[in-house]
Amino acid sequence: MKRKALSVLLSAAMTAALLSGCGGSSGAASESAPAASEAAPAASEAAPAASEAAPATDAASEAGADAAAQATGGADASGKTFAIVVKSAGNAYNTKEEEGFKEVIEAAGGTVVVKEPEAATVDAQITAIQSLISQGVDSISVAANDENALQATLEEAMAAGIKVNGFDSKTNADSRMTFVNQAGTQEVGQTLLDAVYDLTGGEGQYAILSATSQATNQNAWIDAMKSIAEGDSKYSKLELVEVAYGDDEPQKSTDQTQALLSKYPDLKVICAPTTVGVSAAAKVLQDQGSSVKLTGLGLPSEMAEYIGADDAHSCPYMFLWNPIDLGRLAAYSAIALVNGDITGAVGDTFTAGDMGDYTLTDAGDNGSEIILGPPFKFDPDNIAEWKDVY
């Protein structure tokens, strides 16, 4: 499988251009459908002249569709409406996902509807999805706040003919047609655990600062970390003292970080596999001059001031994928589902524009997934060039 989405060093120019070109406000429906047809010609007394107008309009429409398809490597969303439901409003990571999603759908001639729940809760997402069902959208791409609790609502959407595409944080297999995964679960778990091992010197206490206790991606990565540690004697001297939950809220994540420092005076490392949590923890540790070090998953733009190899910085290095590319891949896969190019079956293939060709693989839960690529490491050597990108 050709996976170029996270070949970040080769795509920096594209990503930077995307950021500058996708600054639409989030939280409201985007009505950027294909360019409106030109006004109909004035009525003519001559019947033949009126009959000639229709072919001209058809030709213009076909030309517009062809142009959209060329701009997105053949993907065509003309006349269709694609919705994206993120975890919550006010999350910079979610905003970047939306930007990538909108860029692809609008370039392909489709209409985008963005839904940002006020809080990172299941109830808020259910309300958003039910609204989209009523609107009769063609596709819903959702980053789930709970793996199972959205099932009834998403099954209702699929029964209405809406293509349901998970991304970022998956629902169970019965609630989706496929899932766009930012990276393999075991791969993320291994990466984070090895970072903890490195920063602790191979022994000592560490804690995990997660998002919500129901977040499927967070829980999967944490379970992978635990499983790998239990199965390899290399990690036998590491002690996971607590998994704390900041609910992807800056203040609660701050409070949880302070509580960890208070409860565990011998703590060496905090691992935060959430962009909200890692930035909140970084500020607490750096402001307090704590000797506890931090790693996890973060946005370069939010973490640049905290990344450094010396005692003055709280985070020696961290990881992430490109959330803009994650949104783009979610859009391409949604288009492929709506157009019937894929059904969600393992082995289906499609082309994601300039991102390359992707194959749907077994997600290990009786469903399929599409993996964006491996985590990327951000450290003092490269953070300056990435902080202005996303």
332-342, pLDDT tens digit by residue?
999 999 999 99
Residue 218 lies in a domain: yes
Same structural domain for residues 229 and 119?
no
Tokens 């289906």, residue? 348
Rounded CA-CA distance 152/174 in Å is 9
Do 214 and 147 meet the contact criterion of CB atoms below 8 Å apart?
yes
Nearest to 18 by CA among 110, 95, 117: 95
Residue 386 lies in a domain: no
Same structural domain for residues 161 and 201?
no
Residue 385 lies in a domain: no
As given in the structure block, the two tokens for residue 285 are 């540790």
What local confidence, expressed as pLDDT, does residue 370 receive?
Answer: 98
Q: Which residues pair with 362 in a beta bridge?
A: 368
What local confidence, expressed as pLDDT, does residue 204 receive?
Answer: 98
Residue 57 lies in a domain: no
Rounded CA-CA distance 91/43 in Å is 52
| 3-state secondary structure at position 319 | strand
| 3-state secondary structure at position 291 | coil
Residue 194 lies in a domain: yes
**Of 284, 304, 320, which residue constitutes the final position of a domain?**
320
Residues 6 or more apart whose Cβ sits within 8 Å of residue 289: none
Same structural domain for residues 135 and 222?
no
Same structural domain for residues 24 and 143?
yes
Same structural domain for residues 94 and 156?
yes
Same structural domain for residues 15 and 101?
yes
Do 150 and 122 meet the contact criterion of CB atoms below 8 Å apart?
yes
What local confidence, expressed as pLDDT, does residue 74 receive?
Answer: 77
Same structural domain for residues 123 and 143?
yes
Residue 62 lies in a domain: no
Residues 6 or more apart whose Cβ sits within 8 Å of residue 162: 132, 133, 136, 137, 138, 139, 140
Same structural domain for residues 94 and 216?
no
Low-confidence ranges of the chain (pLDDT < 50): 1-61, 63-65, 67-68
Same structural domain for residues 122 and 22?
yes
CB pairs under 8 A, 24+ apart, for 125-131?
Answer: 125/85, 125/87, 125/150, 126/150, 126/153, 128/85, 129/85, 129/153, 129/154, 129/157, 130/156
What local confidence, expressed as pLDDT, does residue 389 receive?
Answer: 86
Phi/psi-derived region of residue 275, left when phi > 0, alpha when psi is between -120 and 50, beta in every other case: alpha
Distances, alpha carbon 169 to alpha carbons 95, 116, 143, 165, in Å:
15, 15, 5, 11
Give the range of the structural domain holding residue 239, as residue numbers without chain letter: 185-320
Same structural domain for residues 178 and 190?
no
Side-chain-side CA neighbours of 143 within 13 Å: the count stands at 30
Q: Where are the beta strands (DSSP E) in 73-132?
A: 81-85, 111-115
Same structural domain for residues 206 and 340?
no
Q: What are phi and psi of 176, to 5 degrees?
A: -150, 165
Tokens 């009525």, residue? 43
Phi/psi-derived region of residue 307, left when phi > 0, alpha when psi is between -120 and 50, beta in every other case: beta
CA torsion angle 104 110 111 113 (round to 10): -50
Please give the tally of structural domains in the chain: 2
Same structural domain for residues 17 and 149?
yes
Tell me the CATH number at 14: 3.40.50.2300
Residue 257 lies in a domain: yes
Q: Where are the beta strands (DSSP E) in the chain?
A: 29-30, 81-85, 111-115, 139-142, 163-167, 178-181, 204-210, 238-245, 267-272, 293-296, 318-320, 349-351, 357-359, 361-362, 368-371, 376-378
Residue 227 lies in a domain: yes
